[in-house]
């Protein structure tokens, strides 16, 4: 650490690229990698819930599914956000997506 010395904010920020197109590609392919996990057999029950036609039934089944700790971990593997963030997010999504 003594050899490196102190790094200023300006020096640290200079290491970041302003290439927004490269950043967008990174986000796209990283997101695709996570979303692709939904094709795995262990997500079949989750995908069945998403395919349900009745909105109220879909919301009820999703809430039941996500209340299981193992299912919550599976969901975090696809949508990697913290547990504290995912539960309010799921409630919000239920209003708009489901």
- Domain layout of the chain by residue ranges: 9-96
pLDDT at 69 (0 to 100): 93
| Mean local confidence (pLDDT), 2-13 | 70
Q: What is the C-alpha to C-alpha distance for residues 23 and 25, in angstroms, rounded to an integer?
A: 5
When comparing pLDDT for 26 and 70, which is higher? 70
Q: Judge if pTM exceeds 0.85.
A: no
CB-neighbour burial class of residue 74 (10 A; exposed 0-12, middle 13-18, buried 19+): buried
Residue 44 vs residue 81, higher pLDDT: 44
Predicted pLDDT at 57: 96
- CA 71/CA 66 separation, integer angstroms: 6
pLDDT digits (tens, 9 = 90+) for 11-55: 777 766 677 788 788 888 888 998 999 999 999 999 999 999 999
Buried b (16+ CB within 10 A) or exposed e, 25-63: eeeeeeeeeeeeebeeeebeebeebeeeeeeeebbebbe
């Amino acid at each position: 650490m003594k050899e490196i010395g102190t790094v200023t904010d300006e020096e640290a920020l200079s290491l970041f690229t302003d290439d927004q197109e490269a950043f967008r590609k990174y986000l796209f392919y990283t997101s695709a990698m996570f979303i692709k996990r939904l094709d795995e057999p262990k997500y079949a029950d989750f995908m069945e819930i998403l395919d349900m036609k009745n909105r109220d039934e879909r919301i009820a089944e999703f809430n039941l599914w996500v209340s299981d700790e193992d299912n919550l971990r599976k969901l975090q593997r696809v949508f990697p956000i913290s547990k504290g963030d995912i539960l309010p997010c799921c409630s919000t999504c239920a209003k708009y997506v489901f």
